[in-house]
Amino acid sequence: MIPLTEARAYIIERCPAPVPIQVDLTDARGLVLAASVSSPEDVPPFANTAMDGFALRAADTVGAPVDLEVAGTVAAGVDPIAEGITVAAGTASRIMTGAPMPPGADAVVMVERTEDIGDDRIRIEVEVPVGNHVRHPGEDLAVGDEAFPAGTTLGPGHLGVLASIGIERVPVWRRLRVGVMSTGDELAEGAGQLARGQIRDANRPSLLGLLGEMGIEPVDLGWVPDDEDAIAQTLVDGVAACDALLTSGGVSMGDFDYVKVVLDRIGDMRWMQVAIKPAKPLAFGLVDDVPVFGLPGNPVSSMVSFELFARPALRAMGGHTELDRRRVLAVVDGGLSRRPDGKVHFARVRTAVVDGRFRVVSAGGQGSHHLTAMAAADGLAVLPDGDGIADGEEVEVILLS
């Protein structure tokens, strides 16, 4: 058996580097900037008001309340210069949020601090300083400022900023396409009656879902029987169409584990026994330079193996610099028991924050076939070799969401 850290490092080292491309902003969510982006424009582009109210000269409000003559209205989208609106001493322009400041004005009084006294006159009830409620050009971003550095994962806020500076195409690391195939003669397709000995394919939906959650394009390569030619064909087609492949099942020591046989023939594979539970067996290698992850068949094992190996490797391939999930220390409620066996165990747990502290409780059955507990879990508690963690003791937890 090899330690988890060794298997993880071996895999990440052999994965290809990310590929830089340009994409439309509308396709960029979740991708990572491949180069820094500087602002070609000031944001906001012109001085404007943050409030509905009156644009005026701050000096005219000294000794408020004061009455001013109303000179014109500036709505958002209107150019006061083109409209001939200027604010002279003793006057104020009605102005709406986002509208440009008219020439002559240096402050805004919000409408709630004024009273319409008729005859195109307005009573200003408060004294305001120069710049009151005025947003200045370039206040958020000035021309030439770095909006975001390379390595930024583009979330909704980033897309908004990039749109606000007129950027339609962004330099990013290409979104990955990753194929998933299931193997095993025992797998039944569809919802029909199961014959004795058959089970339904749980791994493909889980793995496709895990990929989708990461912002990767999942490619369903379907189910393949325990047949060497069929497995070889699906693998060859898969590597031609995808940036990486995930297989599940057929990589252990059984007589019909043909995935192992085929991958050894067409790929450059390493078969590992990792000192962890679940997910001890793992195959990783390259087929036509495309990374192939041979994940174990048991449903919980395939998901845990994905979390520990495929996820960080695929994040590296997608240009992310933070590869791993967050880890926190949590207090165990009810204890998490295990037996010494030379392996690190990953217990499926549910987390809660109570009085500002993380707490975890077992999510249910801890067998590698107990997929319901895996589905209910939002954390993997890291149990070092030994007898487990007693009730009330602390444990390190990988947060799954």
Q: Please identify, using beta-carbon distances, which residue of 216 and 232 lies nearer to Mg ion.
A: 232
- Residue 230, both tokens: 């069929």
172 counts as binding ligand AMP under rule CB under 6 A: no
Q: Backbone phi, then psi, for 161, in 5-degree steps?
A: -65, -45
Residue among 42, 60, 106, 201 that touches ligand AMP (CB under 6 A): 201
Residue labelled with tokens 């009151």: 132
**Is residue 252 close enough to count as binding ligand AMP by CB under 6 A?**
yes
Binding residue (CB under 6 A) for ligand AMP from 254, 340, 386, 392: 254
Residue 248 and residue 202 in contact, taking contact as beta carbons nearer than 8 Å: no
Q: C-beta of 257: minimal distance to Mg ion in Å? A: 6
d(CA 132, CA 122): 18
Looking at the Cβ atoms of 182 and 234, the one nearer to ligand AMP is 182
When the beta carbons of 218 and 249 are compared against ligand AMP, the nearer one is 249
User: Residue 54, Cβ neighbours under 10 Å: how many?
Assistant: 26
The residue at minimum Cβ distance from ligand AMP is 297
* One residue of 44, 53, 215, 250 binding Mg ion per CB under 5 A: 250
**Shortest distance, position 184 Cβ to Mg ion, whole Å:** 4
Q: Distance (Å, rounded) from C-alpha 380 to C-alpha 373?
A: 11
**Side chain identity at residue 250, one-letter code:** G
We find the least distance from the C-beta atom of residue 283 to ligand AMP, in angstroms, to be 11
Q: Looking at residue 227, what DSSP letter applies?
A: -
CB distance 134 to 80 below 8 Å? no
User: Would you call the peptide bond into 225 cis, given omega within 30 degrees of 0 as the criterion?
Assistant: no
Report in angstroms how near the CB of residue 268 gets to ligand AMP at its nearest: 21
CB contact at 8 A, 35 and 146: no
Nearer to ligand AMP, 133 or 204 (CB): 204
305 is a contact residue toward ligand AMP (CB under 6 A): no
Q: Which of 61, 63, 105 is nearest to 80 (CA)?
A: 105
Contact pick of 76, 117, 194, 199 for ligand AMP (by CB under 6 A): 199
In this structure, the number of other CB atoms found within 10 A of the CB of residue 368 comes to 20
Amino acid at 157: G
From candidates 267, 291, 294, 299, binder to ligand AMP by CB under 6 A: 299
Q: Which does 182 bind (CB under 5 to 8 A by kind): ligand AMP, Mg ion, none?
A: ligand AMP
Q: By the 8 A CB rule, do 372 and 351 touch?
A: no
Is the Cβ of residue 57 or residue 260 nearer to ligand AMP in the bound state?
260
| Binding residues for ligand AMP (CB under 6 A) | 182, 184, 186-187, 199, 201-204, 248-252, 254, 257, 296-299
| Binding residues for Mg ion (CB under 5 A) | 184, 249-250
